Structure formats: structure tokens, C-alpha cells
Amino acid sequence: MILETPRTMVRGWRETDIPAYTRMVADPDVMRFIGDGSVETSTEAADFARAMQHQSQERGWIR
């Protein structure tokens, strides 16, 4: 399922999302507003994204 408005789209994780996500969470200027401000490594970020993808499928949130 994809939820979409004129300004926003919400959908499940895709493998192609991971490179942009890893760049975002490695940026201290971005992460200073999230959690404790710690940046993540590429491996940590990719592992998280894949875990969210798996959980979403497992829970039936996406197909």
C-alpha cells in the first residue's frame, strides 16, 4: 500500500532506499536532531533498514 498526498508519500522500505538512508544517518547535521545525536555507520544503517523491511512484511504492513 502507498499513501500519498500532494506533498508526501508513505510506502514500505525498498532496497534502493538504503544508500540515501545511510548517507542521511551518517550526517552529524541531520542526526543532531534525532535521538542522542549519534551518527550510524553504513552497516548499522543498512541493517536497520533491512530489519524494518522484514518487520513490515512479517507484520503485514506491506506485501
What's the pLDDT at 43? 95
What's the pLDDT at 63? 65
What's the pLDDT at 46? 94
pTM of the model: 0.76
Higher pLDDT, 16 or 57: 16
What does the domain layout of the chain look like in residue ranges? Answer: 15-32+40-63
Long-range contacts of 52-56 (CB under 8 A, 24+ apart): 52/13, 53/12, 53/13, 53/14, 53/15, 56/12, 56/13
Query: Rounded to the nearest 5 degrees, what angle is found at the Cα of 37, between the Cα atoms of 36 and 38?
Result: 95
Rounded CA Rg of the chain: 13
- Taking only the tens place, the pLDDT of each residue in 9-54 is 888 888 899 999 999 999 999 999 999 999 999 999 999 999 998 9
**Beta strands at 9-10 and 3-4: parallel, antiparallel or unpaired:** antiparallel
Predicted confidence band of residue 61 (pLDDT cuts 50, 70, 90)? confident
